[in-house]
Structure 1
């Protein structure tokens, strides 16, 4: 759900050296051939995504590119989570095109394609004014913790999970997130280890870890109790001592000081915003850590 947007101005690029109007901006579907340029755009804004991280979003989502001629100068994705919820993400505009309405055009295309879904995203401060004009409202701040993992002791009571557990994971995730994220969870199981806490023979909480950016990301974590969240996080961090890891948690959180003890320090974050629409779930199960700021 993460995004980086300019303010809206014109929709063509003007060459500052001679004043000539350059090629108008057009929108096109995002294709595999756009991945390398998209990676360059995310590096330009300081995001840690690898080509594999872009590819995961591409296969789960519908995407658009803004083109100046054949050159990609912007991206946007809509990741559907069933008929009622979606994530708007990877909304980036080339720094030399900012202030020319490219971000607004990408967002208009995304909103037209949402088919009645409520959309969520994690906004930067630069993108927030545009999202507010489009009707998004603040939901919760997201705190990012990252760093080199110290010595973390693996807790008891945490078990591995696999594709055989997918149906139960999807049901618990739906109760917490409000979305049907079966495709996402299936892809995450294939990318990295999943862990669960069972009670009375049923999955009461779960969490994932996978390669991302400079190292690992822990999330999503779905649980009803902070103790389960800490146990699942500790289970994953204990498996990668000395590695770089990251976790994104909604605020306010009871995880902050505990995470700092593991070696992960607060490193900024973003603002989760949501279009009014389908109501938020009201169950004990809660999203205690995001899959990523892009995917929620």
Structure 2
């Protein structure tokens, strides 16, 4: 490791740092935009290192949830400043910002895996990243006559929160409210009796339309949500699917999605993720776990 440079200053990012964070993300081929970073800041904390000129050269973010769970992401070090331990120090700052009994999770890149392992993170599962050009998508109709997909309204929030809590194993009230506000489209699936059987959001980024979170009572409802959230979009679609949804992943591949990676989910302060009910079919984004 290179000698640490005293003129690297750690700080907590504010709104005025957003353009630099977007540029830092772009420098490593990631596609964070202003809206995504504002959402992160509204529910969590982004730590960064700056050089004397004020330029941001490294970042890491933590999003705390309820029920003793938090997620780390956006761990970036500018290529010119690698080897100083900046990513390690910022990740440690994220971990130290929550209590010792909080399970901290992250989705590791190939380059970041050795660092997280040294910090004590252990792999427990993985997510599967799928991409599809909209003009290649061939979804078969899936909703039954007993179900309807309708916009998510404010009065639906408590039901959506409970569905999400069961899927994640922790409450995410602040995050859900921010993500719904950010979403290009937010919908719920209602059963014949009016009960909510699933919900889905999509967020349009500079490169992809992100499909997620997708929470549903079964594969068919999840597929219906994917179909609805992809309507009218002509660009590239992305969904990151938890490891245990094998049948749903087969459906995605048949519909034209290509699996491009399978990064590990790693955790600290626990030997396993909170108990989940297997209704999570698409995560919000890797930064949010």
TM-score by length of 2: 0.88
1:176 is aligned, of 141, 164, 167, to 167
Offset of residue 255 of structure 1: 2.9
Offset of residue 87 of structure 1: 0.8
In the alignment, is residue 99 of structure 1 matched against residue 83 of structure 2? yes
| Shift in CA distance, 240/265, structure 1 to aligned 2, threshold 3 Å | farther
C-alpha contact (below 8 Å) 1:197/1:205 kept by paired residues? yes
In the alignment, is residue 123 of structure 1 matched against residue 108 of structure 2? yes
Offset of residue 264 of structure 1: 2.5
CA RMSD of aligned residues (A): 2.1
| Shift in CA distance, 281/158, structure 1 to aligned 2, threshold 3 Å | farther
> What SS does the corresponding residue of 2:171 show, helix, strand or coil?
coil
1:54 is aligned, of 30, 37, 40, to 37
Alignment of 1:207-246 (within 5 A): 207-237=200-230, 239-246=231-238
Offset of residue 9 of structure 1: 4.6
C-alpha contact (below 8 Å) 1:78/1:110 kept by paired residues? yes
Quote the residue 1:145 is aligned against. 130
In the alignment, is residue 36 of structure 1 matched against residue 28 of structure 2? no
Offset of residue 92 of structure 1: 0.5
Offset of residue 279 of structure 1: 5.5
> What SS does the corresponding residue of 2:114 show, helix, strand or coil?
helix
C-alpha contact (below 8 Å) 1:193/1:210 kept by paired residues? yes
Instruction: Work out the CA distance in 1 between the residues paired with 2:8 and 2:71.
Output: 25
Offset of residue 269 of structure 1: 4.1
Q: Which runs of 5+ in 2 are unaligned?
A: none
Q: Which runs of 5+ in 1 are unaligned?
A: 1-7, 13-22
In the alignment, is residue 109 of structure 1 matched against residue 102 of structure 2? no
C-alpha contact (below 8 Å) 1:10/1:101 kept by paired residues? no
| Shift in CA distance, 135/205, structure 1 to aligned 2, threshold 3 Å | same
In the alignment, is residue 159 of structure 1 matched against residue 149 of structure 2? yes
Offset of residue 26 of structure 1: 1.7
How many residues in Structure 1 have an aligned counterpart in Structure 2?
278
Instruction: Work out the CA distance in 1 between the residues paired with 2:259 and 2:232.
Output: 19
Instruction: Work out the CA distance in 2 between the residues paired with 1:188 and 1:284.
Output: 22
TM-score by length of 1: 0.86
Quote the residue 1:185 is aligned against. 176
